[in-house]
Homo-oligomer: A and B are copies of this chain.
Amino acid sequence: MKGQELDIEQYRLTEEPFYEEVNGEIGLVTIASKSKMPVMLKGPTGCGKTRFVQHMAYKLGRPLITVACHEDLTASDLVGRYLLKGEETVWVDGPLTLGVKHGAIVYLDEIVEARKDTTVIVHPLSDDRRFLPIEKRGQMIEAVDDFMLVISYNPGYQSVLKELKQSTKQRFMAIEFTYPPADIEMRIIEKEAKVTKEIAQKLVKLGDKVRNLRNHGLEEGVSTRLLIYAGTLIQQGVPSEKACEAAVIRPITDDPDMHRSIQELVKAIF
C-alpha cells in the first residue's frame, strides 16, 4: 500500500481528449474550479458529458476519477474501508478520499442512482466546509485546493424514488447538456468514425430526425456515440441500411412500429 501516493498518476490524462465547446461551458467550469464551486452536469445519455469532464480534467491539469453510480454503491465504496492483509488490517482509500487528498476531479456519474448515504457523504464537501468525514477512522480530511466535485444528472429519468433531494441539488452550479449542434456533431463523427464528410452529414441528419421522434413514442434520442458506431460499420464496408439497423435502430427500440419508422428515415436519407 506504500505505493498508493503514486496511484493517483494513473488517473491523469496524457492526451487531450477531443471536445468541441458548445456554449461557453469550458469558461464556466474553469471559474467554478477556481471558486471551489461543485458542478452538476444535466442532460441525456451520450451527449458528451463524460467527454467534457475528461477535457476539463486535461485542461485544468488534474487527475480524473470517475465513479459510475448504481443502486448498490455505498458511502464506504467511495470513502474507503479496512481490508484484512495477512495479519494486519489495512485502510484502503476509496476513490473519493483519493481525490480529496490528491486534488483530483471526482466525477460521480448519475449520482441519483446511488444509495442515499452516498449522496449525503458529499454534502460537507460541497459547501464552504470542504471536508470529508471518514467516520470509520474518526477523521476529518480537508480537501486540498485542487479537489473538485462534479456530478451528472439525467432529468429525463423521472421517478419519485430516484429524485435528487433539493438539499443536494442546491449545492451545485449546473450546466445543461444536450445533443451537439449539427456542424459540431458532423465534425465529431468524421473524426471518430473516419468517414467522409458526406456520410457524416447523412448520419447527423438521421440523428436529428430520430431525436424528433422522442415526442412520438421514442424513450430517448440516439446518442452521438451510436452515430459514430454506424459510421464505423459503413466505413468497414457494411451497407448503410444494415449498419444503421445494427448501430442505431436495434439498440434504441424494441417496438416494431418505431423500428419501421426509423427504417423509413434511413431509406429516405441514404
Contact = CB atoms under 8 A, between A and B. Distances in A.
Nearest to A249: B174
A135 B233 CA distance: 34
Interface string A144-160: 00000000001101000
A34 B236 CA distance: 10
Contacts of A154: 167
A171 B252 contact: no
Contact residues of A: prevailing secondary structure: mixed
A40 B138 contact: no
A260 interface: no
B120 A37 contact: no
Interface in A91-129: 92-95, 98, 109-110, 113, 115-117, 119-121, 123-124, 127
* Interface size, A (range): 35 or more
A16 interface: no
Contacts of A42: 250, 254
Nearest to A140: B10
A227 B237 CA distance: 37
Contacts of A46: 167, 170
A264 interface: no
B116 A71 contact: yes
Contact of A223 (B170, B229, B236): B170
A73 interface: yes
A242 B24 contact: yes
A162 to B, nearest CB: 11
Given A42-B250, A82-B84, A113-B120, 20 more contacts: A7-B138, A27-B238, A35-B233, A45-B165, A46-B167, A67-B135, A68-B121, A68-B123, A70-B119, A72-B115, A84-B89, A95-B135, A113-B116, A170-B220, A170-B225, A170-B226, A170-B252, A174-B246, A174-B247, A175-B246
A-B residue pairs, 4 tightest by C-beta:
A174-B250, A155-B254, A45-B167, A70-B120
